[in-house]
Amino acid sequence: MNAAIPPDHLMPSVQLREVPQALLDALQARFGAQFSVAMAVREQHGRDESAFDVPPPDAVVFAQSTQDVADAVKLCAQYRVPVIPFGVGSSLEGHLLAVHGGVSLDVSRMNQVLHIHAEDLTVTLQPGVTRKQLNEAVKSAGLFFPIDPGADASLGGMCATRASGTNAVRYGTMRENVLALEVVTASGEVIRTGTRAKKSSAGYDLTRLMVGSEGTLGVITEITLKLHPLPEAVMAASVSFASLADAVNTTIQIIQMGVPIARCELLDGRTVAMVNRHSRLSLPETPLLLMEFHGSPEGVKEQVQTVQSIAHDHGGNAFEWAHTPEERSRLWTARHNAYFAGVQSRPGCRVISTDTCVPISRLADALLDCVTEADAAGIPYFLVGHVGDGNFHMGYLLDPNQPQERVAAEALNTQLVQRALRLGGTCSGEHGVGLHKMEFLRDEAGAGAVAMMRGIKQALDPHNILNPGKIFTL
Regarding whether 139 and 120 lie in a shared domain, the answer is yes
74 phi and psi, to 5 degrees? Answer: -60, -45
Q: What is the pLDDT of residue 1?
A: 33
Regarding whether 123 and 214 lie in a shared domain, the answer is yes
Regarding whether 185 and 331 lie in a shared domain, the answer is no
Domain boundary among 206, 229, 252: 229
Is residue 255 within 8 A of residue 303, CB to CB? The reply is: no
- Closest by alpha carbon to 313, among 392, 395, 378, 250? 250
Number of domains forming the structure of the chain? 3
Between 461 and 90, whose confidence is greater? Answer: 461
Burial track 164-187 (b if 16+ CB lie within 10 A, e otherwise): bbbbbbbbebbbebbbbbbbbbbe
CA dist 210 and 193 (Å) reads 9
Q: Count CA within 13 A, CB hemisphere, residue 320.
A: 14
Is residue 131 within 8 A of residue 156, CB to CB? The reply is: no
> Does the global pTM surpass 0.75?
yes
Helix (H) or strand (E) holding 382: strand 381-386
Sequence-separated (6 or more) residues with CB below 8 Å from residue 396? 351, 352, 353, 354, 374, 379, 380, 381, 405, 409, 412, 413
- 428 in a structural domain: no
Regarding whether 131 and 266 lie in a shared domain, the answer is no
Confidence of residue 38 (pLDDT cuts 50, 70, 90): very high
- 472 in a structural domain: no
Domain that holds residue 72: 8-106
Regarding whether 395 and 287 lie in a shared domain, the answer is yes
Domain boundary among 391, 406, 422: 422
> At 393, which amino acid appears?
H
- Closest by alpha carbon to 417, among 439, 446, 388, 386? 439
Regarding whether 50 and 98 lie in a shared domain, the answer is yes
For every residue of 347-379, which 3-state class applies, written as one string?
Answer: CCCEEEECCCECCHHHHHHHHHHHHHHHHHHCC
Is residue 435 within 8 A of residue 50, CB to CB? The reply is: yes
64-78 per-position pLDDT tens digit: 999 999 999 999 999
Q: What is the pLDDT of residue 5?
A: 46
- 431 in a structural domain: no
- Closest by alpha carbon to 236, among 166, 176, 171, 168? 166
244-291 per-position pLDDT tens digit: 999 999 999 999 999 999 999 999 999 999 999 999 998 899 999 999
232-248 per-position pLDDT tens digit: 999 999 999 999 999 99
Q: How high does pLDDT run on average in the chain? A: 94
- Closest by alpha carbon to 299, among 144, 166, 170? 170
Q: What is the pLDDT of residue 50?
A: 87
Regarding whether 140 and 72 lie in a shared domain, the answer is no
Is residue 239 within 8 A of residue 171, CB to CB? The reply is: no
Instruction: Name the percent of the chain lying above pLDDT 70.
Output: 98
Q: Which CATH number belongs to the domain containing residue 36 in this structure?
A: 3.30.465.10
Regarding whether 217 and 337 lie in a shared domain, the answer is no
Confidence of residue 10 (pLDDT cuts 50, 70, 90): low
Q: What is the pLDDT of residue 324?
A: 87
At residue 6, the 3 state secondary structure works out as coil
CA dist 375 and 355 (Å) reads 18
Mean pLDDT calculated for residue range 109-126: 98
Q: What is the pLDDT of residue 330?
A: 86
Regarding whether 92 and 72 lie in a shared domain, the answer is yes
Q: Which CATH number belongs to the domain containing residue 274 in this structure?
A: 3.40.462.40
